[in-house]
Amino acid sequence: MKIGILTGGGDCPGLNAVIRAIYKRSAPHGHELLGFMNGWRGLIQDITMPLDSEHVRGLLHMGGTILRSSGDNPFHTDDGPQRVLETAERHGLDALVVIGGEGTMMGAARMWDEHGLPVVGVPKTIDNDLPGTDVTFGFNTALSVATEAIDRLHTTAESHNRVIICEVMGRTAGWIAAWAGIAGGANAFLIPERPTPIEDVADLLRARAERGRGFSVVVVGEGWDPLSRGNLFDGYREIQETDVYGYPRYGGVAHVAARALEELTGFETRVVILGHIQRGGVPTPADRVLASRFGVRAADLVHAGEFGRMVAARGEVIRSVPITDALGEVRTVPEEMFSLLDTFSG
Ligand code: F6P
């Protein structure tokens, strides 16, 4: 078989490990791989790279993606689907493995459904919010980076009696914020799923100060919606920017929260925005293993001719689900977990 591979959407640690795993599982069957560059753009514009044993060497621990990435989508491009089909035919593709998040997977689902392109999906995102799978690779690495940052912020916050707000990624999902906050011992949690008035956080910081803890570390998910019992955010509310694909561009809400907290408490409040540091660099061992298991399962699906499916983690098992399962509502931190955060707040 000739198997195409693309990586689309925001990169995340573990993408290269998936490519390597697909190679290792497919090569013994005599299958040949072909990489398409820059996500769907590679198929729309026919930009390829060979993926033979030379090209997949040393990939396991390498962050980013050797296939590069973009958020391009055949369905947002003139004649996109037609051009993808022509490229696939030109190269004699028997299958296409699409490694990506919601937007990339939407393209894959429609190419399969409406045009019969034989696709297999592999879910990825550091946000861990993709429906259809319990977990995505990249999340564990982002969590480790964010946890280490929070650990480090504690000591400097304490030395200077400061409040430090650490903003983490995740869009509308607070998984990185909640998990890194718990792991790093944050004193307060602001996550997108839970509307928390900033005055409550100010009360918590004052209560800590009264107990002799004049320093605090607050973790905030980038998609947290600033909420105040009064009108504190009237003048501060950010104008939401969008990226070139029309998705909201997050980043900076920690500054808004910091100004409000300083105003309410008088405590010096500083901000650290981790941003893309969470996405770069080497994958953790857990992400290398998960990405490898996803890659192997994807190769097995291709070999068996089971198309229109996406690999997914369910408990300890890697299975497959209809690729359309990735297109449902994003998986956010459920309400049952709020009390967990309360236990560790303060
Ligand atoms: O979805 C992954 C993610 O890293 C989000 O957490 C973040 O909001 C977004 O991508 C950033 O995207 P970009 O790299 O396009 O700015």
Q: Give residue 298 CA to ligand 1 midpoint distance, Å.
A: 25
CA distances from 287 to 142, 144, 281, 284 (A): 10, 11, 12, 5
Structure tokens at 277: 């540091």
Same domain, 272 and 176: yes
Handedness of CA 341, 137, 124, 254 (dihedral sign): positive
- Tell me if 73 is assigned to some domain: yes
Same domain, 7 and 129: yes
Same domain, 162 and 273: yes
Q: Tell me, yes or no, if 225 is annotated catalytic.
A: no
- Tell me if 322 is assigned to some domain: yes
- Tell me if 89 is assigned to some domain: yes
Nearest alpha carbon, ligand 1 atom 15: 10
Contact between 35 and 52 under an 8 Å Cβ cutoff? The reply is no
Contact between 104 and 9 under an 8 Å Cβ cutoff? The reply is yes
- The Cα 158–Cα 208 span in angstroms is 12
- Tell me if 80 is assigned to some domain: yes
Same domain, 147 and 130: no
SS3 28: helix
- Rg of the chain taking only CA atoms, in angstroms: 22
One of 78, 94, 113, 127 is an active-site residue; which one?
127
- The Cα 345–Cα 39 span in angstroms is 41
Whether the predicted model's global pTM rises above the 0.75 cut: yes
User: Of 279, 330, 331, 332, which is best to mutate to test ligand 1, by the most ligand atoms within 8 angstroms of its C-beta?
Assistant: 279
248 pLDDT more than 90: no
Q: What is the mean pLDDT of the chain?
A: 96
Atom of ligand 1 minimally distant from the CA of 278? 4
Same domain, 307 and 268: no
Same domain, 114 and 163: no
- pLDDT tens-digit series, residues 44-102: 999 999 999 999 999 999 999 999 999 999 999 999 999 999 999 999 999 999 999 99
Considering its fold, how many domains does the chain have in total? 2
Residue 238: what pLDDT? 58
Q: What does the H/E/C string look like for 79-148?
A: CHHHHHHHHHHHCCCCEEEEEECHHHHHHHHHHHHHHCCCEEEEEECCCCCCCCCCCCECHHHHHHHHHH
What is the mean pLDDT of the segment spanning 1-27? Answer: 98
- The Cα 84–Cα 27 span in angstroms is 25
Q: Give residue 10 CA to ligand 1 midpoint distance, Å.
A: 6
Q: Give residue 45 CA to ligand 1 midpoint distance, Å.
A: 24
Same domain, 113 and 179: no
User: Of 250, 253, 330, which is best to mutate to test ligand 1, by the most ligand atoms within 8 angstroms of its C-beta?
Assistant: 250
Contact between 69 and 9 under an 8 Å Cβ cutoff? The reply is yes
CA distances from 336 to 85, 138, 194, 289 (A): 45, 24, 11, 29
Contact between 51 and 33 under an 8 Å Cβ cutoff? The reply is yes
Same domain, 24 and 109: yes
- CB 124 near ligand 1, within 6 Å: no
Secondary structure percentages of the chain, helix, strand, coil, to 5: 40, 20, 40
Same domain, 260 and 294: no
Q: Is 335 exposed, middle or buried (0-12, 13-18, 19+ CB in 10 A)?
A: exposed
- Tell me if 77 is assigned to some domain: yes
Q: Label the pairing between strands 188-190 and 163-168.
A: unpaired
The domain that contains 182 carries what CATH number?
3.40.50.460
Tokens 């430090």 sit on residue: 164
The domain that contains 53 carries what CATH number?
3.40.50.450
- pLDDT tens-digit series, residues 284-341: 999 999 999 999 999 999 999 999 999 999 999 999 999 999 999 999 999 999 999 9
Same domain, 131 and 222: no
Domain housing 299: 2-137+283-327
Angle between helices 285-304 and 139-160 (to 10 degrees): 160
- pLDDT tens-digit series, residues 128-184: 999 999 999 999 999 999 999 999 999 999 999 999 999 999 999 999 999 999 999
- Tell me if 314 is assigned to some domain: yes
